[in-house]
A and B are shown apart, each in its own frame.
Chain A
């Protein structure tokens, strides 16, 4: 089946530093990737949708200058949390699909990255 990987699986950083999270589709080409965030005891919340080679579309309330998304190839999308603060500590998870018009069940999720900002 389709596999999506994320790296790192967990990261601890100091406040004010930037952290990059990678999301890779290992055995398929993903034209669209999604980034979600999950705070403790809350649901997965969509942050942004990115299509290969174009700018990401951010959900309302998500700062695009703080959460930089790059989708440079059909198998790799990166999320950079710039100038991270403790309130950015969360579980970040990506998913990938073969096209925006795909049926929802073909959205494949990565294992997630737990970010802790001290």
Chain B
């Protein structure tokens, strides 16, 4: 039962344009959402997060939007840079399980010149 879904396995975006990565979830108990970035041969690194009490969180070029009614979140990267090319995972947690992350399957982003 995949509770966190990333339906696009890959995405290609031109440098300077906006990258939009999407994530859907089914468990209405999730109250905290995170995005991780993973380069080949490295572990995932934390990128940005959002609490369910918010609908937007911004950090530099990265913005995460949360639509609770649709059980959908998205990560916007603008402007996209070649160094952003990586696999992006969204993850979620439920209250009371602070560090138990439920991950999506990941989206491979390729930023082209």
Report which A residues bind B (CB closer than 8 A).
4, 9, 32, 34, 36, 41-46, 49, 93, 95, 97, 100-112
Are the CB atoms of A111 and B101 closer together than 8 Å?
no
Known contacts A43-B2, A43-B89, A104-B93; decide if A49 and B43 are in contact (CB<8 Å): no
Report which B residues bind A (CB closer than 8 A).
2, 4, 9, 32, 34, 36, 41-46, 49, 89, 91, 93, 98-106
Are the CB atoms of A42 and B101 closer together than 8 Å?
no
Q: With A and B bound together, what is the CA distance between A111 and B41 in angstroms?
A: 6
Are the CB atoms of A107 and B4 closer together than 8 Å?
no
Are the CB atoms of A109 and B45 closer together than 8 Å?
yes
Known contacts A44-B89, A111-B42; decide if A105 and B34 are in contact (CB<8 Å): yes
Known contacts A9-B41, A44-B89; decide if A49 and B100 are in contact (CB<8 Å): yes
Question: Which residues of B sit under 8 angstroms from A108, Cβ to Cβ?
Answer: 43
Question: Which residues of B sit under 8 angstroms from A97, Cβ to Cβ?
Answer: 99
Question: Which residues of B sit under 8 angstroms from A104, Cβ to Cβ?
Answer: 32, 34, 46, 49, 91, 93, 98-99, 101
Q: With A and B bound together, what is the CA distance between A112 and B41 in angstroms?
A: 7
Q: With A and B bound together, what is the CA distance between A110 and B9 in angstroms?
A: 23
Q: How far is the CB of B95 from chain A (nearest CB, A)?
A: 12
Known contacts A100-B98, A104-B34, A104-B93; decide if A43 and B106 are in contact (CB<8 Å): yes
Q: With A and B bound together, what is the CA distance between A36 and B100 in angstroms?
A: 11
Q: With A and B bound together, what is the CA distance between A111 and B42 in angstroms?
A: 4
Are the CB atoms of B105 and A107 closer together than 8 Å?
no
Q: Considering only CB atoms, which chain B residue lies closest to A6 in the complex? A: B43
Are the CB atoms of A43 and B103 closer together than 8 Å?
yes
Question: Which residues of B sit under 8 angstroms from A100, Cβ to Cβ?
Answer: 98-99
